Chain A
Amino acid sequence: MKARSAKFRPDVSVLLSLLILLTFTSFSTAQQTTATLSGTVTDAAGKPAAEVKVTVKNAATGHSSDTQTDASGAYSIENLPPGDYEISASLDGTAATSKVTLTTGAPQSVNLSLAPAQNLPNAPSSSQPAPNQTSPSLSDLGFSASETQANAREQALLDKRTHMLKIHQRMGLITTIPMVASVVTSLNAGGKNEGSASRDLHVALGALTGDLYGITAYYAIRAPRIKGTETRGQIKAHKILAWIHGPGMIATPILGAMAFSQKNNGEKVHGIAQAHGPVAIITAGAFGAALLTVSVKF
């Protein structure tokens, strides 16, 4: 009996994969080149100070920007070039100054506490005014510059890493659905079953699994690495398991194609093609274990 012609449905699985990818992928390419400074101003009694003039002066250029606090004592100044600034506020014989280094990215907050003008606190942020000589400051504690300096570039790298790994996580979860379904449909896809409908379904599910797995792997592989970070904890097991399910996801469809061809030719699956099932099971098992390593604490 002539075998029915192979009916691959890779086009459907590819379309499905693309649809899912478009749904979950969105990269923001907008770059921020200015900084935003905000905060609150409180009076000597610790209460919000409204209608207080706040001046921000760029230490490098000398350029100043002014604003006024609102009823809740809050102020905000946007579109400031990154750099070192001196912030000052004054009201009825009281004043406050502070220094800050602005970087691009998330807004920075500096709160000011007004005190009598001859007794200005130098602390960058405090709700309890005190003379300078009795207030410890960050510079007293002996931290190195690398520990206290902001690094906007590293933050951007971390943001991109988290964004990509979130997609990796979601795609991994989605991939488990067709993977489990293809394992279930494998029961009727081979063996003594001569019909091709179940086999075609198994192939389609396998192809979809492969496409989604590829997308999942892409986001993990391409997520930025952070220099100086040693891999520790259960994430180490998660990465090691990838060396099992990764090659498995390549070998499984190759062996499956061989088995498919043999079945379509009316042959019994033989030779290396017989390994398709065991390899698929090991691959799915490693994939499931990888999922568990980042979900449950062992």
Chain B
Amino acid sequence: MMKKLFILFLLLPLPLFAADQTWVLKQSTLTYHVSHPLHESEGTSHSARGKGICHEGQCEFLIAVPVKTFDSGDSNRDLHMIQVTRGAEYPMVTVRTHLPESDETAAQIKADLDIEFAGQTAHYKQVPFQVSTQGTEKHITGTIPATLTDFKIQPPSLLTIPVKNDVPIRVDLTWGPQ
């Protein structure tokens, strides 16, 4: 009887994010994409930090990244980006999300995100992310459909032509247990 119970226990599926567990962001790549009729440009940051706490069936995650760490390869463009996003007044971008523990072995999850950026808070519903497991680590990728108007950012312009409103942010995160 005890042997049967033990085998049953072993067959229980492991949760995506185990109860009463803390997760830490091990690696990150966040890339924004800006479109202009003359050219496209991207800025990337590898400096995000994050923490996730799972408790009583719910997991809360916080990811934060300094605005100044985004690098587009052009110092003038980066400075202009910091200026137009009020990056000196609001130096951090923070993302909070709430995941139910029931998102166990799913290869894709959908998360509601609260993003604070440029002094504004924007809410994104049901943003899809792909999840893969590598040992004890979780690799999560996806794209956040951000726009300049979401954060009340004045569109920068080049040669009097403004950039497009859509500024999608590609996310590539690796989480590991603390």
Contacts and interface: CB of A to CB of B under 8 A. Distances in A.
B39 A296 contact: yes
Interface residues on B, range: 35 or more
B76 A141 contact: no
Interface stretch (A9-17, A59-67, A129-137): A129-137
Interface in A84-123: 103, 105-109, 111, 123
Contact of A106 (B53, B89, B123): B89
Given A109-B120, A140-B51, A169 B60 contact: no
Interface in B93-110: 94, 96, 98
Interface stretch (B5-13, B79-87, B133-141, B164-172): B79-87
A230 B112 CA distance: 38
A155 B114 contact: no
B90 interface: yes
Q: Tell which of B52, B60, B123 has the most Cβ of chain A within 10 Å.
A: B60
Interface in B40-64: 40-41, 49-53, 55-56, 58, 60-62, 64
A108 to B, nearest CB: 6
Interface of B: 38-41, 49-53, 55-56, 58, 60-62, 64, 66, 72-77, 79-80, 82-84, 86-92, 94, 96, 98, 112, 114, 116, 119-121, 123, 158-160
Interface of A: 39, 103, 105-109, 111, 123, 125-128, 130, 133-138, 140-143, 147-152, 154-155, 157-159, 161-162, 165, 169-170, 173, 226, 229-235, 238, 294-297
